[in-house]
Structure 1
Amino acid sequence: MNTSIARWGRRLGTAAALSLMAAAATAVLAGPASASGISGLDIVEDSSGVNSGPDNEAYAECPAGTKVVGAGVTNTGLGQVVVDILRPETRAVYAHAYEDGNGFSGRWSLTVRAICAPDVELINYEIVGVTSTPDSRSPKDITSTCPGGKALIGMGWALAGAGGDVGVTDVIPASDHVYVRAYEENNSATTAAWSVTAYRICASSLTGLVIRTSSTTPGSGSQGKSQPCPVGKVALGGGANIVGGTGNVVLHNLWPGSFYANQWLMSANASEDDDGAPAAWHLTLNQICVDD
């Protein structure tokens, strides 16, 4: 069941602060003259609770009269828990995670976030998943593209057939598509047939759509990135990609919809698994913002 529902947008009050990091590059996506922004977003969360089981799940449902425009997920297993599903549905977001192939001795939890917008502000809305061929090849990638005239406003993914032996490393939005890539974990490679699905959320007639991209400095251990939307825009969601840590680094936090100093924020975090990464790597955050 949902653990919290907060009303955001133009009616937003005070929210918890996240530290801001380096400046971000912005790509502007033009919209039609009749387009409009989005106001009055609802942020809904659900948590699995803390336990020591091999997997956890959570399901956040949007209020009546709204639809999902963005999805977020976080877990407390750091580099030893793999989020295999972050699936947007029309009025909810489902998340599932496994401990990796050699397990995790600690207790951990999974929390999912749905960003919900009023139905009346979403024109030509759709959610579609595109799935790769199931086999034992690694890595696998898949692209899901919005049809002509629609823009990408949100995304998600699903892995099937590999349990905690495969992790998503790239979830990269563009103006009209999302690209998802997954690798087998180096400490628990599998011979099973598995697949990756990329989910796209598309709509038309939204103004001021931008994708903001920024990266951490190459290093090791755990890395995190946080960045704001421009003033006057709201965060619909986004993705992240791990560069250089293939098979040894796990994305464990992708969290849009926080708010600080009059700006909407998104954060992402990744950590090396218990084997560590043999070389320096970095994390890139890709955030989708739209006019409020």
Structure 2
Amino acid sequence: MKDQTRTQNAVVVGEDTPCWSSAPSLPPLRRPCRRHTEVGPAELARRRQKGQCAITISAATAVHSQPTISLQLGKGFQLRFMRVLTAAALMAIAGTVSAATPAQAVAGLAYVNATSALDSSAVKTLTLSCATGKVAISGGAYVTGATGDVTIREIRPSMVAGAVRLIVTAQEDPDGFAGSWRLDATAVCIPHPAGLSFVSGSMTDPALVWATASCGAKRLIGSGYSVSNTGAVKAAGAHAGTSNRAYISAEPSRVVGAVIPVTGTAVAVCADAGLPGMTEVTVETAQNSSDGKSVTATCPANTAVIGVGGGLFRFRNHTVIDDFRINPASNSVTVTGYEDQAGNPDIWAATATAVCAT
């Protein structure tokens, strides 16, 4: 199903369900497909030079649709390029983000940090607890050491022993890592909101997982995800606008010994009312074949970071996400990707999305 919202000099076309979704309205993808919607002056100029089609996106007027940007799936379900952005993120790419000037950031917002041991254990899990009266609505994590050999399998708000905590798990790839590495995590905590609930959506597939979880009549205020043993998350996050849902994309590890099929679960954290002034800012790296790509997205002035999203795109086989990092001191998030031990000679890139509120 498509929706259109006109700006002053362009049309934004959004896909409510990607062609590779497992939503009830569409069967799982069993053939290649191709969708194009391009944005941004640099990409537009490049496509004009090559004589390719493009749709100009104007940042002059705020829109509330959820565009899908250049999804290409080729033989073997290789994900070429997919990214779902809010209007605020589109305007960020165009360099024209404007923000309100509230008196203060999110009331009662707090961040809780935790660090694992620095050792060679294959799986590391952290459970982060908020102060009494507060709940974890989202969080971030990053790995130190074991570059390309460890993936973050889980960043999930969950009810544990009567309290809403953040559970974070990272795991070495199927053939392991001989050295020492560490897992760090940050929980985003707010006062317990009215109508707090959690909605999960899962998908199992041997090649490509795309799962979403919607808050329905409630409003999304946070998100999380988990992926099954040896699975590699390729993208995760949430969209609090008209989409009002969390998402995860995952694939099997390309290292020998991977467990197949893979199950991915998206978790939407919902409440009766959304947080004020929620917006998203998305930034991407260069698209090339170099190893080690890191990108930071910063929340606008007078807002506070409350979540991190992003992922890998283009030819993302043999790449893994090392960081879904929340940086409270700089009011930003960082997403970092590395190639696995086999390397990736093809073009790939990473995106980071900062979820912000006032």
Answer whether TM exceeds 0.5 for this pair: yes
CA distance in 1, matches of 2:150, 2:106: 34
Aligned sequence identity (%): 24
Instruction: Name the counterpart of 1:243.
Output: 313
CA distance 1:190–1:148, shift in 2 (3 Å): same
Q: So what's the TM-score if we normalise by structure 1?
A: 0.79
1:27 shift after superposition: 11
Higher-Rg member (1/2)? 2
Instruction: Report the aligned-residue RMSD.
Output: 2.2
Matched, 1:253 2:318: no
Matched, 1:131 2:199: no
Q: CA offsets, 1:9-59, max 9 Å, x none?
A: xxxxxxxxxxxxxx934999xxxxxxx962232211222210112111111
Q: CA offsets, 1:46-76, max 9 Å, x none?
A: 2221011211111111110101122111112
CA distance in 2, matches of 1:100, 1:172: 22
1:205 shift after superposition: 4.0
Bigger relative contact order, structure 1 or 2, given CA contacts below 8 A and separation 6+? 1
Q: CA offsets, 1:192-217, max 9 Å, x none?
A: 34311111112314221101111111
Matched, 1:221 2:294: no
1:126 shift after superposition: 1.9
- Specify the SS of the correspondent of 2:148: helix
- Specify the SS of the correspondent of 1:259: helix
- Specify the SS of the correspondent of 1:24: helix
Aligned partner letter, 1:52: S
CA distance in 2, matches of 1:213, 1:144: 21
Instruction: Name the counterpart of 2:67.
Output: none
Aligned partner letter, 1:40: G
1:114 shift after superposition: 0.7
CA distance in 2, matches of 1:192, 1:241: 21
CA distance in 2, matches of 1:172, 1:96: 16
Aligned partner letter, 1:208: G
Instruction: Name the counterpart of 1:269.
Output: 336
Aligned partner letter, 2:265: T
CA contact (8 A) 1:132 1:195 kept: yes
Instruction: Name the counterpart of 1:200.
Output: 268
1:191 shift after superposition: 5.5
CA distance in 2, matches of 1:42, 1:157: 21
CA distance in 1, matches of 2:257, 2:335: 25
CA distance in 2, matches of 1:44, 1:61: 7
Q: So what's the TM-score if we normalise by structure 2?
A: 0.65
Unaligned runs of 5+ in 2: 1-90, 98-103
CA contact (8 A) 2:174 2:258 kept: no
CA distance in 2, matches of 1:132, 1:169: 14
CA contact (8 A) 2:113 2:187 kept: yes
CA distance 1:235–1:191, shift in 2 (3 Å): closer
CA distance 1:254–1:282, shift in 2 (3 Å): same
Unaligned runs of 5+ in 1: 1-22, 29-35
- Specify the SS of the correspondent of 2:254: coil
1:124 shift after superposition: 2.6
CA distance in 2, matches of 1:139, 1:188: 17
